[in-house]
Amino acid sequence: MRRRSRGAHAIAVAGFMTALAVVTTENHAQPATSPREGASLAAPRVSLAEALRRAETRNVTIAVAVEEIQRAEALVREARATSLPTLTANGIYTRLDADRVFQGRQIAARDQLSANLALSVPLVVPQRWANWSHAASNAKTARAAAEDIRRQVAVAVARAYLAVISQKRVVDVGERALATAKAHYDYAHTRFAGGIGNRVDDVRAEQVVATDQAQVEAGYAGLARAREALGVLVGEQGPLDTEDDVALAGPAEFDSAMRAATTQRRDVIASRARLDAAEQVKKDSYTDYLPFLVGTFQPFYQNPPTLVLPTTGWQAQLLLTIPIYDGGLRYGLAAEREALSNEARSQYEALLRQARSDVRLAFESVKRAEAALAAATNAARLARSALELATLAYQAGATTNIEVIDAERRARDAETAAAVAEDSARQARVDLLAATGRFP
């Protein structure tokens, strides 16, 4: 009986050490899709560059921004039309109850047919020219705003992409912790079945397996949410998975980053375009006080002719309009434009301050996040070593499996913290690139 117990004990120790060695060796392996995920979580993999490319063409926010550009360009054509000549054709048929006769002479026939062409040429129309220029500025602003929206969507896609990678790390950590817990349970259960262990150790080990199993399932649920969020941002009909790693550009020098933040960031460029447009509208307020001149030319046809209208002929006119009093409309418009210009300037200056703050904060966040990642990685390494030592001590009979279970929990928590720290470091790098206008 004792020989059989010792043999079972040796087999259990060998199995546990083999499983622990495998888990430790694979600790830094890239996470892959586990068979436990099942078909419900299966999703096509894309690179970050491909995800950004798809979002550029499929994301609904970008699509709306593109349509706003088309709308702004249509408004430019509308404003331009008022400054260009217009040509219209008119035809009139008149039916009277009877011919009009004066002193035996017909002056208006019962049936009359007339036609004319009317050409109107704006000769001097400063108000319409200003409106045309303002519409062109608004279209430029819409294009700049669309670029800013593309930037925002790209940052959101990058964050979602990194979130999927991070959640896969968490799932991988949970799987390894579960494998370790199962190996320990197999060892404790084999000892108990062989008569050299106790029921308490067996139950404790089984409880850890159940706890780790619950955390693994929660990790897969979080992974499914992250994949769905990435698919929605990219504009796909289903979830998307990521490649196992992503390369992000390194940070620029601080001084060049500060300059780039105020000159290359798309939100800053869009704000500057809005300010320029508001300033132009304010400066052009003087055109409301200027006269405008319109010329018209009208050839006509009249059948039958009348005393005052021959069969064919033409007439030309010059119409000069001088605005004198409009009830204060121009003064109200000038005040409104002044306020809008001041608002745009305040928003632009505030955005410049925010951009500089973003750069300073991003540099500090990257520095701290990378230091935290190094510390978390070291903590995870030490936790794995502590687990190995606790396991050896338990197998030697020096401790109970409480120390092993506690070491397993600490190792799992340390691995999870390292995965979270890695995600924080990547997110901080994305924030720095976005703050300096280098992403996307």
- pLDDT tens-digit series, residues 268-289: 999 999 999 999 999 999 999 9
Answer yes or no: is pLDDT of 122 > 50. Answer: yes
What length is written for the chain? Answer: 440
Cα radius of gyration (the chain): 39
Answer yes or no: is pLDDT of 36 > 70. Answer: no
Model pLDDT for residues 371-402, shown as the tens digit of each residue: 999 999 999 999 999 999 998 998 888 888 88
Answer yes or no: is pLDDT of 414 > 60. Answer: yes
Closest CA to 205 of 179, 184, 229: 184
Answer yes or no: is pLDDT of 39 > 50. Answer: no
What residues make up the domain containing 365? 2-85+124-292+327-435
pLDDT, greater one: 223 or 9: 223
Average pLDDT in the 66-82 region?
96
pLDDT band for position 331 (cuts 50, 70, 90): very high
Within-domain flag for 415: yes
Euclidean distance between CA atoms 213 and 179, whole angstroms: 10
Specify the pTM: 0.81
Average pLDDT in the 324-348 region?
95
Going from the C-alpha of 73 to that of each of 67, 70, 107, 148, the distances in angstroms are: 10, 5, 53, 18
Q: Which amino acid is at 49?
A: A
Cβ atoms of 363 and 436 closer than 8 Å: no
% of the chain with per-residue pLDDT over 90:
74
pLDDT band for position 309 (cuts 50, 70, 90): confident
Within-domain flag for 103: no
Residue 240: what pLDDT? Answer: 94
Burial label for 297, CB within 10 Å (0-12, 13-18, 19+), is middle
Residue 41: what pLDDT? Answer: 54
Closest CA to 143 of 76, 73, 69, 74: 69
Within-domain flag for 375: yes
Tokens 């050409």 correspond to what residue? 119
Within-domain flag for 299: no
pLDDT band for position 8 (cuts 50, 70, 90): very low
Cβ contacts of 283 within 8 Å, gap of 6 or more: none
The enclosing domain of 260 has a CATH number of 1.20.1600.10
Angle at Cα 125 formed by Cα 119 and Cα 127, nearest 5°? 135
Answer yes or no: is pLDDT of 6 > 80. Answer: no
Cβ contacts of 320 within 8 Å, gap of 6 or more: 291, 292, 293
Model pLDDT for residues 82-119, shown as the tens digit of each residue: 999 999 999 999 999 988 888 878 888 899 999 999 99
Answer yes or no: is pLDDT of 120 > 90. Answer: yes
How many domains is the chain built from? 1
Residue 109: what pLDDT? Answer: 87
Residue 396: what pLDDT? Answer: 85
Residue 159: what pLDDT? Answer: 95
Residue 171: what pLDDT? Answer: 95
Within-domain flag for 226: yes
97: number of Cβ within 10 Å: 6
Within-domain flag for 418: yes
Within-domain flag for 304: no
Going from the C-alpha of 423 to that of each of 64, 228, 429, the distances in angstroms are: 31, 18, 10
Answer yes or no: is pLDDT of 35 > 80. Answer: no
Average pLDDT in the 313-332 region?
94
Within-domain flag for 440: no
Model pLDDT for residues 196-218, shown as the tens digit of each residue: 878 888 898 999 999 999 999 99
Average pLDDT in the 119-131 region?
95
Answer yes or no: is pLDDT of 10 > 50. Answer: no
% of the chain with per-residue pLDDT over 70:
90
Euclidean distance between CA atoms 78 and 274, whole angstroms: 20
Q: For all residues of the chain together, what is the average pLDDT? A: 88
List the structure tokens of 423: 């995600």
Dihedrals phi, psi of 123, to nearest 5 degrees: -90, -50
| 3-class SS of residue 86 | strand
